[in-house]
Structure 1
């Protein structure tokens, strides 16, 4: 990731992709199973559906519990905002109308496998990163850049974990 000089209010994004030698149906089973995600994500420790939801669908809510060496432990509530089985699974963190982050998995089947992409956008709502920016406003661009690089590494690891499971059939 190259330096962009982005500020939080710019809604900076990061996206990673990988090709998986497995059909989109298999990749979708993994991507849409939020209970699996803590086993492939470096920061997500636990997750559960809320309000009696048993799985994803637009409007379904879930709580994620995260941990990071520098930021400690925190939990967020997310709401599914886009759901196209086999293609797109996206959610907004905290307030869907003013999310602290937005996340999306996108699947593109082809060539005997599936291209899987994970994308995220910071803000526009406040997040834990906002506290660091409040404490050091002169370092905002560096704080945002460092966090985007961390997220890029974390997302790359998540996709690698999904790829391993999809290709091994585990």
Structure 2
């Protein structure tokens, strides 16, 4: 895949397997995620597995929107990724978490690729009130990873 549109990384003093469990625990996502405030599995598969689907509820100030996501990678303790669509059909982004064990815990890298076409760039900017998605995502990813670190290291 090409270079991500935005990325962030952080060292977490917790095992990669524990961090992976937090990342894939949709019921408790709001405890650490900066923009996605809720998510739930939909369809027959209710766990992090390639092909599983979930709906995410997002917030930016007073603006709220939902996304439809399909898991593209689910490798416990190593990687979790998903393809995001608006209304289930319009491409928005690909998000990926990569976890690398370290002596003290793990390195977590969060990456995103903006795959919106021209129509979705305009509509998405209006819907979310985010005109510069790269800058917005970069800041949110740093905040998200700091929150994830706090939650993972507290356990």
TM class by shorter chain equals: 0.7 to 0.9
Higher fraction of strand:
2
Distance 1:130 1:27 in 2: 35
Distance 2:44 2:118 in 1: 27
- Which is higher, the Rg of structure 1 or of structure 2? 1
Partner of 1:102: 94
Query: In the superposition, relative to structure 1, how do residues 46 and 40 fare at CA in structure 2: closer, same or farther (>3 Å)?
Result: same
Partner of 1:38: 30
The number of residue pairs the alignment matches comes to: 151
Distance 1:62 1:133 in 2: 22
Partner of 1:165: helix, strand, or coil?
A: helix
8 Å contact kept, 1:100–1:127: no
8 Å contact kept, 2:27–2:39: yes
Partner of 1:18: 10
- Residue 49 of structure 1, CA deviation: 0.2
Superposition TM-score, scaled by structure 2 size = 0.84
- Residue 12 of structure 1, CA deviation: 5.9
Query: In the superposition, relative to structure 1, how do residues 62 and 133 fare at CA in structure 2: closer, same or farther (>3 Å)?
Result: closer
Deviations 1:59-94 (A, max 9, x none): 000000112137x21111000011111101000012
Partner of 2:122: helix, strand, or coil?
A: helix
Alignment of 1:11-160 (within 5 A): 13-69=5-61, 72-94=63-85, 99-125=91-117, 128-131=120-123, 146-160=132-146
Distance 1:75 1:98 in 2: 12
Q: Which runs of 5+ in 2 are unaligned?
A: none
Partner of 1:62: helix, strand, or coil?
A: strand
* Aligned alpha-carbon RMSD (Å): 2.9
Superposition TM-score, scaled by structure 1 size = 0.77
- Residue 121 of structure 1, CA deviation: 0.6
Deviates more, 1:125-134 or 1:95-104: 125-134
Does 2:151 match 1:165?
yes
Distance 1:24 1:147 in 2: 28
8 Å contact kept, 2:12–2:105: yes
